[in-house]
Amino acid sequence: MTIDSSQVQAALECFGTGARLEVSEEKVGLLRYARSRVTAQHSEQRMRVRIRLERDGRIVIGALESLERDAVRALADHLNHELTALPAGQPQKQTGTAYAGEPTKPEVSEATRQAEAAERFAWFDTVRKGLDDKAQLGGSIRHEVIDRVVADDSGLFREETLTKASLQAIADHDGHSASVRRVHRDAAQIRVDDVAERLLASLAPLPTREPFSGQCRVVFRPQATIPLLATYGYAALGAAGFAENRTAAAGRLASPITSDLITVVDDGGDPDGLPSGFDVEGSPRVRTPLITKGTLAGVVSNLEHAGVTGGVSTGHGVPFGWRFGAEPAPSHLLMAAGDKSEEDLLAGCDEGLLVSRLDYLRVLHPKDTLVTGTTRDATYWVKDGKIVAWHPPVRLTFRMDEVLDHIVAVGAERERGEQTFMESITAPSLLVDAGPFRL
């Protein structure tokens, strides 16, 4: 841990009553590449400090990149001045407490911690040589080490170290593209030797058909399921929207909300995701069943909305001043695998669309879970249960709850991913009936 606890304590004393800090020291190594050439090697180390002050119902939020005394004092003076300029109000109510147990301690990967530019280049070179001159390679390789502390003026002090390694590889050939995404806390667990093979298999020569018009079945591969599940979780499975009847899940606890083939939990301690121990409020992350065989089993909460979850926060408070809003949101979603191979899913599809990746998924109407997004990298047409042609990229507009209600088969293999608003999502392939989609 590189964060000096004495500096954290000094900062709390400087900010005064009602202060909570989230401090992270981030070390990032990044390699970017395009057209099979390295385009950037970047290393960065920086501190992020977020501060929340609450007094007499007044709340202000600030941020800085140092715990040095002068910087802290200057921001403290500014925030305290801002507090006095606000009208007094009702203090923010907490409807519960944090879980009494200790947070999970994620394992720290020395392979990730010690990774240098030479290792990132070796990963890139392995994939490039595997592709030979059959395709152009683009993407990125990233190693991160984050030391993190959450503390407040009541004596709360939580700390953890999180490591993360990721590889994004995109191969382009003859106007078509395919991608592979791998992410893990431990760099030693990321397989690189088969990435080129997977990319080339996805770029096998096929004709390109005209865009299909009408309704059809759709197979989502895991990297397409991941943004779908993440966006649905964010839009529908938080305690604030549930309590205020603003989400598709509101009022439906213990009722069916998806196909009975779907089971989803949020679990910050599951190694199949990217584990972390606690949220921005210092509350331990609690394993929370969300959907069990299609039935709504629960939602995630923070301290303010813990009344929805039996008076105990599930550990899903979000960062102060977060651009995605202040309400509790899922952080580590895991969808249970099924028992179908990709061949089984394609056979069940018979004729329809195979989507390898969904991109730019945007919520149009949260209550109706209406979203729009585009397919990207290896979109195919399936006929008689076989991949027979490339299909041009498609913009899909659909209701996520309808898609999850029309699942007719679930894949046996899961992949891990992440979104800008969620630490990790682990999900399988899905076969969706024709109802929700019109191309």
Q: What is the pLDDT of residue 209?
A: 96
pLDDT at 261 over 80: yes
Of the chain, the percentage scoring pLDDT greater than 70 comes to 100
Q: What is the pLDDT of residue 439?
A: 83
The helix (H) or strand (E) run that includes residue 348 is helix 342-349
Tens digit of each residue's pLDDT (9 = 90 or more) over 266-300: 999 999 999 999 999 999 999 999 999 999 999 99
Question: What three-state secondary structure class fits 11?
Answer: helix
How many C-beta neighbours within 10 Å does residue 297 have?
17
**CA atoms of 358 and 224, how far apart (whole Å):** 5
**CA atoms of 82 and 31, how far apart (whole Å):** 41
Domain ranges of the chain: 5-202, 217-432
Task: Name the more confident of 193 and 321.
Answer: 193
Tens digit of each residue's pLDDT (9 = 90 or more) over 143-172: 999 999 999 999 999 999 999 999 999 999
Q: What is the pLDDT of residue 93?
A: 81
In sequence order, the β-bridge partners of residue 407 are: 432
Q: What is the pLDDT of residue 89?
A: 79
Name, in order, each residue with C-beta under 8 angstroms of 39's C-beta and a sequence gap of 6 or more: 32, 33
How many C-beta neighbours within 10 Å does residue 392 have?
12
Average pLDDT, the chain: 96
Q: What is the mean pLDDT of residues 421-439?
A: 94
Q: Which of 163, 191, 193, 197 is nearest to 178 (CA)?
A: 197
**CA atoms of 16 and 76, how far apart (whole Å):** 8
C-alpha triplet 234, 322, 106: angle, nearest 5°: 70
Report whether 64 contacts 70 (CB < 8 A).
Answer: no
**CA atoms of 361 and 373, how far apart (whole Å):** 4
Report whether 192 contacts 127 (CB < 8 A).
Answer: yes
Would strands 352-355 and 37-55 be described as parallel, antiparallel, or unpaired? Answer: unpaired
Tens digit of each residue's pLDDT (9 = 90 or more) over 79-126: 999 999 999 877 778 889 999 999 999 999 999 999 999 999 999 999
Q: Measure the CA dihedral 11/14/19/25, to 10°.
A: -20
Q: How far is CA 292 from the centre of its chain?
A: 21
pLDDT at 322 over 90: no
Confidence bin at 437 (pLDDT 50/70/90) = confident
Residue 145 dihedral angles phi and psi, to the nearest 5° = -130, 120
Tens digit of each residue's pLDDT (9 = 90 or more) over 344-371: 999 999 999 999 999 889 999 999 999 9
**CA atoms of 313 and 200, how far apart (whole Å):** 46
Architecture of the domain whose range is 5-202 = 2-Layer Sandwich (3.30)
Tens digit of each residue's pLDDT (9 = 90 or more) over 386-415: 999 999 999 999 999 999 999 999 999 999
Tens digit of each residue's pLDDT (9 = 90 or more) over 26-62: 999 999 999 999 999 999 999 999 999 999 889 999 9
Q: What is the pLDDT of residue 142?
A: 98
pLDDT at 240 over 90: yes
Q: What is the pLDDT of residue 296?
A: 98
Per-residue burial over 38-49, b if 16 or more Cβ lie within 10 Å, else e, is beeeeeeeebbb
